């Protein structure tokens, strides 16, 4: 096992190098000169030239890449060309926001989606099954911006139950330690902030959860159906075991593997930033940050941001693979 993990960790290196080259080339080869994007209508040739020079854009691409790679290895991802904020500092601020939202959304998705999938599989083609699978279809097809705006309108404006958007209300003080606001408010014992942050996270988390929830429900259902049809389950029923034990202990544990794969993939995917959700709910996370950077050709942010997202994705994949061995003891990596 240890050898396997080591091997996988080593494999991350070429992946990250590949991703860094790709993201570097992508942002430098697409049309649109960063210097010109920054200066807009007001650019004079002299200013353009000076800006290009100061951003190092006049050097050959390999030189620029090596400079970026060298700095990145020393933990310096440069500064945003727009805001001059250090990219690492920004990651430390944006990533926790996205992580917090993702954890919440996935929790909702796993519990609701998983339960719906299991019940549907136990009672296939029942009213509940049809309804929940119909809802799941609705969930994967619903446009998030529409759902988000409807939620804000209904819960935020019409009934004033939840704050419309943002992470924390204006005027609520919170000392940030990890930048995971909910964790920070627990750590500092700031219950007012905790309540406020939880109220803020519900709507974006629900909106973000719809697609993974629907996918988890469908995968759970089909995987459960397959397992429930097997002989050992019939034996378990025949032994007279209580239903809960058969379904959760015997069936679900074995049906969980594909579900875990979906959860892992969705987790990595959502951590890359959910642009739409973050945009609608003014959630200052990774997705919106990268999106703005790409449109502004803010290349240090794009390079650094994508590198971080790739690293997270690869790590989560590794974690999911390791989790496999716990879920299914037949899997051995050695």
Name the residue nearer to another protein (CB basis): 126 or 175.
175
**Site membership for another protein, residue 187 (CB under 8 A):** no
Name the residue nearer to another protein (CB basis): 250 or 288.
288
**Site membership for another protein, residue 43 (CB under 8 A):** yes
**Site membership for another protein, residue 161 (CB under 8 A):** yes
Number of H helices and number of E strands within the chain? 16, 0
Tokens of 21: 């080259």
**Site membership for another protein, residue 332 (CB under 8 A):** no
Among the candidate windows 227-235, 289-297, 302-310, 314-322, which touches another protein by CB under 8 A? Answer: 289-297
**Site membership for another protein, residue 198 (CB under 8 A):** yes
Which residue has tokens 């989790």?
323
**Site membership for another protein, residue 116 (CB under 8 A):** no
**Site membership for another protein, residue 328 (CB under 8 A):** no
**Site membership for another protein, residue 159 (CB under 8 A):** yes
Q: What per-residue string of b and e applies to 273-312 under the rule 16 or more CB within 10 Å gives b?
A: bbbbbbbbbebebbbbbbbbbbebbbbbbbbbbbbbbbeb
SS3 state at 132: helix
**Site membership for another protein, residue 100 (CB under 8 A):** no
Contact 303, 24 (CB under 8 A): yes
SS3 state at 196: helix
10, 73, 127, 170: residue in contact with another protein (rule CB under 8 A): 170
Whole-angstrom CA distances from 78 to 73, 88, 284, 305 are 11, 8, 20, 11
The minimum distance between CB 113 and another protein, in angstroms, equals 13
**Site membership for another protein, residue 250 (CB under 8 A):** no
CA distance 255 to 226: 8
- CB atoms < 10 A from the CB of 236, how many? 19
**Site membership for another protein, residue 36 (CB under 8 A):** yes
138, 145, 232, 248: residue in contact with another protein (rule CB under 8 A): 145
Q: At what angle do helices 191-228 and 87-108 cross, to 10 degrees?
A: 60
Return the sign of the alpha-carbon dihedral for residues 29, 35, 39, 42: negative
69, 71, 166, 241: residue in contact with another protein (rule CB under 8 A): 166
**Site membership for another protein, residue 310 (CB under 8 A):** no
58, 70, 83, 178: residue in contact with another protein (rule CB under 8 A): 83
SS3 state at 86: strand
Whole-angstrom CA distances from 229 to 126, 180, 224, 258 are 17, 44, 9, 17
Q: Which residues bind another protein (CB under 8 A)?
A: 31-33, 36-37, 39-47, 50-51, 54, 82-85, 90, 93-94, 104, 107-108, 111, 145, 148-149, 152-153, 156-157, 159-167, 169-171, 182, 192, 195-196, 198-199, 201-202, 205, 279-282, 284, 288-289, 292, 297, 326
């Amino acid at each position: 096992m240890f050898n396997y993990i080591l091997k996988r960790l080593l494999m991350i290196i070429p992946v990250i190098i590949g991703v860094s080259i790709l993201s570097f080339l992508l942002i430098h080869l697409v049309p649109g000169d960063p210097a010109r994007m920054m200066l807009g209508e007001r650019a004079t040739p002299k200013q353009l030239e000076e800006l290009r020079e100061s951003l190092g854009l006049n050097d050959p691409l390999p030189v620029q890449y090596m400079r970026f790679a060298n700095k990145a290895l020393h933990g310096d991802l440069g500064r945003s060309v727009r805001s001059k904020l250090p990219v690492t500092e920004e990651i430390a601020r944006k990533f926790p926001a996205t992580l917090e939202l993702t954890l919440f959304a996935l929790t909702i998705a796993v519990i609701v989606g998983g339960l719906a999938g299991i019940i549907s599989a136990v009672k296939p083609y029942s009213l509940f099954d049809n309804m929940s699978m119909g809802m799941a279809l609705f969930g994967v097809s619903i446009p998030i911006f529409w759902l988000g705006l409807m939620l804000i309108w209904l819960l935020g404006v019409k009934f004033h139950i939840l704050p419309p958007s943002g992470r924390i209300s204006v005027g609520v003080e919170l000392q940030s330690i990890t930048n995971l606001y909910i964790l920070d408010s627990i750590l500092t014992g700031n219950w007012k902030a905790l309540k406020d942050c939880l109220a803020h996270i519900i709507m974006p988390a629900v909106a973000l959860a719809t697609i993974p929830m629907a996918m988890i429900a469908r995968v759970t259902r089909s995987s459960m159906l397959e397992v429930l049809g097997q002989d050992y389950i019939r034996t378990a029923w025949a032994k007279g075991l209580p239903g809960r034990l058969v379904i959760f202990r015997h069936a679900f544990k074995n049906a969980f593997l594909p579900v875990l794969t979906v959860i892992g993939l969705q987790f990595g995917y959502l951590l890359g930033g959910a642009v739409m959700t973050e945009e609608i709910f003014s959630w200052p996370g990774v997705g919106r940050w990268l999106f703005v950077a790409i449109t502004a050709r803010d290349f240090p942010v794009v390079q650094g941001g994508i590198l971080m997202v790739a690293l997270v994705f690869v790590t989560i994949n590794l974690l999911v693979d390791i989790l496999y061995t716990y879920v299914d003891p037949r899997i051995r990596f050695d």
